[in-house]
Structure 1
Amino acid sequence: MTQSTDPAAVDPSIPRVVSASREIAAPAAVIFELIADPAQQPRWDGNDNLASAEPGQRVHAVGDRFAVTLTKGTLRPNHVLEFEEGRRIAWTPAPDDVPLGHIWRWELEELGEGRTRVTHTYDWTALRDEARIRRALRTTETNLLASIDRLKALAEAS
């Protein structure tokens, strides 16, 4: 019998779903456009992991695919798993059409008067690759808030 070196398997108290929320003084439609257009994502990526994305990949439905170039120069294909225009979008990185087991999710709630609550979630409950698990452990609420704060600055300046 081999023992898992997956830190979350060893310690089940380690959360595999991390979320952060913040209110933004901009309409949900403005914020959603920044999220659903992969070419905009490097502008607000709080992990400083995204270098660029080709224009013309705007997401419109579950099943859509888009690709971003990582700062390491690797092209990262993504599959859209959840989509509700102006309200919710989630994708999973899927090199070689194989999902890696983690999901990036954005949910927007209109609060009225041009304000929106934005929730960003990183869900790695299905992640099994040990190297990726080590990186997943470093994705904290602080990282997610960094993305929201950059998104906030862009949306509120629009």
Structure 2
Amino acid sequence: MTDHVDVPRIVSAGREIAADPAQIFELIADPAQQPRWDGNDNLATAPEGQRVRGVGEVFTMRLTVGQVRENHVVEFEEGRRIAWRPAEPGHEPPGHLWRWELEPLGAGRTRVTHTYDWTRLTDEKRMVRARATTSDRLLGSVDRLAALIEKD
């Protein structure tokens, strides 16, 4: 087995989007909207009415491969930051985290940063997928989010 010591366990991507942070945050904090702009083509659907409002909440998502994930919100600041740890239903999260951070730049502009952190991931069967989650893949989500919100 190859040791992938050289693979970063925290990857990020970001860019400026021509929209207010509140507009962007609504698309991120509402799981039902996430499949519209998911750059990994990993998210299929999420039930309506799960808009995240704080740490400790759990929202569900169906993946394109048919599996359901419970996403445990571990960071939240309205309009600025949200992060969650996915898990199989009824199980503890295995240690990876998805984070979105929004920095207002003024005049309808926002710096959006998307981060995948798998420093605490312990589930060996998820390691291959974690290693494949690069900043380019994260940027795909940020770019799709920008295209969706900037067209309005």
Task: Specify if TM > 0.5.
Answer: yes
Provide the residue aligned with 1:58 in structure 2.
51
Instruction: Look up the match of 2:128.
Output: 134
Q: Distance in 2 between matches of 1:27 and 1:157?
A: 14
| Match in the other structure for 1:19 | 12
- What amino acid maps onto 1:52 in structure 2? T
Unaligned stretches of 5+ in structure 2? none
Larger of the two Rg values belongs to structure: 1
Counterpart in the other structure of 1:101: 95
The residue number in structure 2 matching 1:33 is 26
5+ unaligned residues in a row in structure 1: which ranges?
none
Q: Deviations over 1:83-133 (max 9, x none)?
A: 000000000002223112100000000000100000000000011222211
The residue type equivalent to 2:50 in the other structure is Q
Q: How many residues align?
A: 151
Q: CA deviation at 1:52?
A: 0.4
Q: 1:11 Cα deviation (Å)?
A: 3.9
Higher helix share: 1
Shift of 1:157: 2.1
Displacement over 2 Å in runs of 4+: 10-13
AA matched with 1:69: R
Instruction: Provide the residue aligned with 1:115 in structure 2.
Output: 109
Give the structure-2-normalised TM-score: 0.96
Who is 1:83 aligned against?
Answer: 76
Computed over aligned residues only, the root mean square deviation of the Cα atoms, in angstroms, reads: 1.0
